Structure 1
């Protein structure tokens, strides 16, 4: 072998992407075993989730898979890591009712939230993204808690900060799936209120009432959405400086791109709090995503009842579900300057997101892993009340602050 051939071989090893055997078929993932017939049934055949080599995600349109490979993938092959069909997902419904016989703040009392407030810790300085349905940014209890994008001028039809999104002053919407109703879903506003509602302007008390909310909508008014829209919303939340992302949704059986997106958030040090689901099943045995992802930056949350037991409908799992939190008879904000009660792990997750905001406000230099460790190591485990979760317990803010103080002096 002459010197030129040796140099070429070395260059191929060092710059492996330039000499790889990548093809449009190899980066298009839908021929893999991960994608079942059920997944293909949910595929949006004209939309494609693209993960680029630099870690970014985009959602692109095409006529069909073969033409997309030829016209989009092949000319940019070396810049593309993975492509798959976008998918329709339907968010689980939560139980809603107008009145409750229990205290409106029973959840806050149960997790000892006041122990943070007496120390002047209210979640100040911490941004929590609500990747969910519509958040009513005009609601009196939420309006002052929205993290405004100061690089943007509202409602001028211009992308002032050049981030690719027009008029995202109060957050952004990534909904591309048509909705069967024009009535806003209450889900996103309810989640946001549990995290940070300001009790000075109404009946709802948020766990971290001075945290800031970043609305990132991908769920349409009827509860439908797409995997690609969810990924774009997650990516946006990270770009806006969210320390915590609340994901009170599930129902994504085709998870390659979604897990990749979660792993990017993991590398960015962002804590992701996920609802376990409301199907009364063990997700260690019957996985649900994103709840069953096993990532170091993720906390999956089951729902505890007023009597401090696991609710009958909450998903569980000793491996993939980490903690329990209040998820029954939860009062929070809904669109139109109103409030209502809901049940669901969708309500339990934001209790943990609010708790994480309090902890990060208490120790701003903490890492996502330290915040997670403090929450997990401080749960209340009561004999006869053990939860079917990894820690066996329900969150306790008072103890979590003490644990975090030891982890981060």
Structure 2
């Protein structure tokens, strides 16, 4: 979660006007300068000036890795030591860094990355005089473990602006490659897409990507509703140079892409967070409220409460706005070691952290029984990267975005809802805990945030129970052709379903007949099927491992048992799943059970397919055309080979699922 660690803001904060638009002629100058061929002359001159000291810095860091500041500075002509410090990553020292002053008000910043004292990478930055008399980053070179420069980057500036507008890529000789990465481009023209406005407070977004640009919320004149509260302009472009101006982190495009994919009803209002002065968060929140935005996603945070006082006051002032906050990725209990704004006690906030597929806090994600409301699956979720390529990402940033997307879908269906009602509806989708032990979150786990609004509230008192029972007689399951085959083994599965689902008695009989006909080819006769009609809390109508275990334990139905449920809540969802001896060692309550959802295609064939998995105690599929055990269930796939029949009979008998027929 890139933007979640906000370094201390500068002391002596002052109020900043909300919007300071630049003159149109300045925008035109910027565009012309970016396109100007003369830029290459500037780049070449900058590289020529910076090249010698950069190479001297690389040589010094390679030849004298343990040198102190004074000794390091002495190895660079005209150098004077400014500062040195250990290079740390996640509280572990992985190298060393030095700052060396050079003649002409220039500076070298050297970073030696050498975990375990083994050199992996050198980064040497050259900082040159800026128009105000200070220094600003100009060129960086990256060297490998052999101390050979592999590539570099040069920051392109415009005279009127303090921040860089582009990164020019350099080769190993520090010459331009012709490739350039924008840092502050104009927003492309467009029109408002309509839908629910959702504010995303992050590092900005890459609105040059069509899939992002066409979803930007705009006013009647076509101007975007978002704003850059870092640079104080109308270009909230995805760039977080806090760690390195040469290698800015790109985070907001990823979170925005997930939001827009899971909430097609949403239109995006991007805000670049105000790192130079976090008091501007008040202006940001006020601006969002003035635009009528009811949902604000904030996937960032820090350990300094003072940085978030302005936000806290503004959030309280707008109680109808729902703020969805990420808990952070520090791997700690934030009740004891707070991260802000996640721990702020506000009625109109929801704090979210990332869960693994089992509904536990993901490795590295924060938790807190009081401060963190929700667990949401957000490990290796599909997102669009800054460059437009599909990738995967993990962490509480994405967990928060998934809840913001859920809120947007709810708001699209209920436009009159405000923060309190949205929050209530979201919490109603929490999966009940099946334990007397207190959970690690205030509310609990939402396993399928991408479809949670389609589900009824899952909380409810009581236990599942059987309300009716009947039997499908074997003679009525097998047709005349089956009767002519010899039956060496008997099979008697149990069915269970909830009466208020889409499963019906007549349909189940038909599916059982299809299954019986296929198994009959292997000399297996279905003697009967005992069918149980169930009732109980809504949650039991959905498959998830923990729910299924609880249901199976409570009912203790004869095995093998086939459960017909409404849908699945698994992160990696399947329409049907079988648990034999081999794949239930850690879930013994599920042994010899099969689970089907209403979305199962060709249920009769699928029933035979999954029961063969169970009888063979194997999840393997075959590629043989027309075979029942192909991965794809299809009407033409009904055959079983002689060897498959042998395996079914052998393993099914060994595991007590088949019994020899009486002669």
Counterpart check, 1:45 vs 2:45? no
For the pair shown, which has the larger CA radius of gyration, 1 or 2? Answer: 2
Counterpart check, 1:257 vs 2:310? yes
What's 1:65 paired with? none
Kindly provide the CA deviation profile for residues 188-216 of structure 1, in whole angstroms up to 9, marking residues without a partner as x. 011111110xxxxxxxxx11023101011
Give matches, 1:215-294, under 5 Å.
215-218=270-273, 225-251=276-302, 252-254=304-306, 255-266=308-319, 269-294=320-345
Mark the CA change 1:298 to 1:330 in structure 2 (over 3 Å): closer, same or farther. same
- Asked whether the 8 Å contact 1:174–1:218 carries over to 2, the reply is no
Secondary structure, counterpart of 2:11 in structure 1: strand
Q: 2:267 pairs with 212, 231, 255, which one?
A: 212
- Asked whether the 8 Å contact 2:215–2:268 carries over to 1, the reply is yes
RMSD: 3.7
- Structure 2 residues not aligned, in runs of 5+: 1-5, 21-88, 91-192, 226-230, 458-663
Give matches, 1:7-406, under 5 Å.
42=8, 44-49=10-15, 125-151=195-221, 168=234, 172=236, 180-196=244-260, 206-218=261-273, 225-251=276-302, 252-254=304-306, 255-266=308-319, 269-381=320-432, 383=434, 388-394=440-446, 396-397=448-449, 398=451, 400-401=453-454
Secondary structure, counterpart of 1:48 in structure 2: coil
How much has 1:383 moved relative to structure 2?
A: 3.4
Tell me how far apart the structure 1 counterparts of residues 239 and 273 of structure 2 sit (CA, whole Å): 5
Kindly provide the CA deviation profile for residues 48-101 of structure 1, in whole angstroms up to 9, marking residues without a partner as x. 248xxxxxx8699xxxxxxxxxxxxxxxxxxxxxxxxxxxxxxx99xxxxxxxx
- Asked whether the 8 Å contact 2:203–2:239 carries over to 1, the reply is no
What's 2:583 paired with? none
Tell me how far apart the structure 1 counterparts of residues 388 and 452 of structure 2 sit (CA, whole Å): 34
- Structure 1 residues not aligned, in runs of 5+: 1-38, 51-56, 61-91, 94-122, 160-164, 197-205, 405-409
How much has 1:124 moved relative to structure 2?
A: 6.7
Mark the CA change 1:225 to 1:335 in structure 2 (over 3 Å): closer, same or farther. farther
Tell me how far apart the structure 2 counterparts of residues 376 and 259 of structure 1 sit (CA, whole Å): 22
Mark the CA change 1:181 to 1:314 in structure 2 (over 3 Å): closer, same or farther. same
- Asked whether the 8 Å contact 1:275–1:300 carries over to 2, the reply is yes
Kindly provide the CA deviation profile for residues 351-394 of structure 1, in whole angstroms up to 9, marking residues without a partner as x. 00000001111111112111101111211235379851111222
- Asked whether the 8 Å contact 1:303–1:311 carries over to 2, the reply is yes
Mark the CA change 1:341 to 1:58 in structure 2 (over 3 Å): closer, same or farther. same
- Whichever structure has more strand as a proportion of its residues is 2
What's 2:471 paired with? none
Kindly provide the CA deviation profile for residues 287-319 of structure 1, in whole angstroms up to 9, marking residues without a partner as x. 211001111110000111134322122111121
Mark the CA change 1:149 to 1:180 in structure 2 (over 3 Å): closer, same or farther. farther
Q: Size of the alignment, in residue pairs?
A: 273
- Asked whether the 8 Å contact 1:127–1:213 carries over to 2, the reply is yes
How much has 1:283 moved relative to structure 2?
A: 1.7
Tell me how far apart the structure 2 counterparts of residues 391 and 366 of structure 1 sit (CA, whole Å): 21
Secondary structure, counterpart of 2:270 in structure 1: strand
Q: TM-score, normalised by structure 1?
A: 0.58
What's 1:9 paired with? none
- Asked whether the 8 Å contact 1:132–1:217 carries over to 2, the reply is yes
Q: TM-score, normalised by structure 2?
A: 0.37
How much has 1:260 moved relative to structure 2?
A: 0.6
Of structures 1 and 2, the one scoring higher in RCO (CA 8 A, sep 6+) is 1
How much has 1:180 moved relative to structure 2?
A: 3.5
